[in-house]
Amino acid sequence: MEWLIASVIAVMTGCGVYLTLRARTFPVVLGLTMLAYAVNVFLFAMGRLQVGFPAVIDPAAAGYTDPLPQALVLTAIVIAFGMTAFLIVLALKARSELGNDHVDGLHRSDDERKAKRHNNKTDSERSAS
């Protein structure tokens, strides 16, 4: 079971990282959401995997699961939602201000030349100011 959960966390991390590295805002938001899932499950798993143990006090219970990671992850889920919401609205704002949804606010889709040109542009801006 453990190796299964570890691979689930691993796949979600990998996919999250890949999407976070993309050049458009929407995939980046998806990537961060995915990373948040991975992190939450990872944190949760730090309490070790327990099947059938309650986190509620019960005299009849044979044992308890670790409630602390659960409490931490519970708030983490809500905060992750807040962050996702903030990011996606930031993406909307960027789209309306910059006219496109590139993470750097660039129109050019050619990534190869983009970085170079962008550097040139900022240099000329600096020398102008």
Q: Does 1 bind other proteins (CB under 8 A)?
A: yes
Query: Using an 8 Å Cβ cutoff, are 77 and 38 in contact?
Result: no
CB of 54 to other proteins, least distance (A): 7
Answer yes or no whether residue 3 interacts with other proteins by CB under 8 A. Answer: yes
Tell me: does residue 64 bind other proteins (CB under 8 A).
yes
Q: Is 98 in the site for other proteins (CB under 8 A)?
A: no
Give the one residue of 60, 62, 96, 129 binding other proteins; rule: CB under 8 A: 96
Three-state DSSP class for residue 128: helix
**Judged by CB under 8 A, which of 112, 127, 128, 129 binds other proteins?**
112
Size of the site for other proteins (CB under 8 A): 90
Q: Which contacts qualify for 38-42: CB closer than 8 Å, 24 or more apart?
A: 38/9, 38/12, 38/13, 39/76, 40/73, 40/76, 40/77, 40/80, 41/5, 41/8, 41/9, 41/12, 42/9, 42/13
Please state the closest distance from residue 74 (CB atom) to other proteins, in A: 5
The answer to the question of residue 129 lying near other proteins (CB under 8 A) is: no
Binding-site member from 60, 62, 82, 107 for other proteins (CB under 8 A): 82
| Residue 24 β-bridge partners | 102
Give every CB contact of residue 6 below 8 A, 6+ residues apart in sequence. Answer: 45
Q: Does 48 bind other proteins (CB under 8 A)?
A: yes
